[in-house]
Structure 1
């Protein structure tokens, strides 16, 4: 696999909760990466030339103490939205509802033909979930 053209690292409270949301509920290909000795454990979500790397806040704060202080000052996810496409939009929406995660916009068909919903992940990052382009458009 070639190197991604864009990587974004997000600090999360709990890797297990993050993995349960992205891999379990949304059924995305999230990989718990093997790390070098001393490197923090992390998750990787790769999509179309880009990746999101999820690392626990504690690990980031240990490596970068000044950043750790800022976790208290600034809420996560304000001003950013993670957009993902899923194979089963109805199943993903029902799973989010079942887990009682906050829905920002309910599941609906947009004027351009794609069904989508927006919700918050366990860390408060806003996630726009849409169906695969080849389905239902």
Structure 2
């Protein structure tokens, strides 16, 4: 798999309640998107990025990180071939990403994703 970006997915009880700390105090002032249950904030100065996640809209678990790749279908096939547990099957989500969740051998759930161009 070719990884193009890794973003931490921080579990929070309420995205809107948590937003002020991360955008104000930490300076992650650029809101890339906000779907209510997940929002991504980036520093306009440094490019540092964090996603706040209160739940997942279609998957059974909240991932620890989101890993972007340029070929999510190949990454899915490789994960299956290697025998890794698929937590959420390869899916094209209504909000425009194609993704799956895989559990690393240490138990960490990872969102492997390809964003629309």
Q: Normalized against structure 1, the TM-score is what?
A: 0.42
| Higher strand content, 1 or 2 | 2
The structure whose RCO (Cα within 8 Å, separation 6+) is larger is: 2
- For the pair shown, the structure with the greater C-alpha radius of gyration is 1
Q: Normalized against structure 2, the TM-score is what?
A: 0.48
| Higher helix content, 1 or 2 | 1
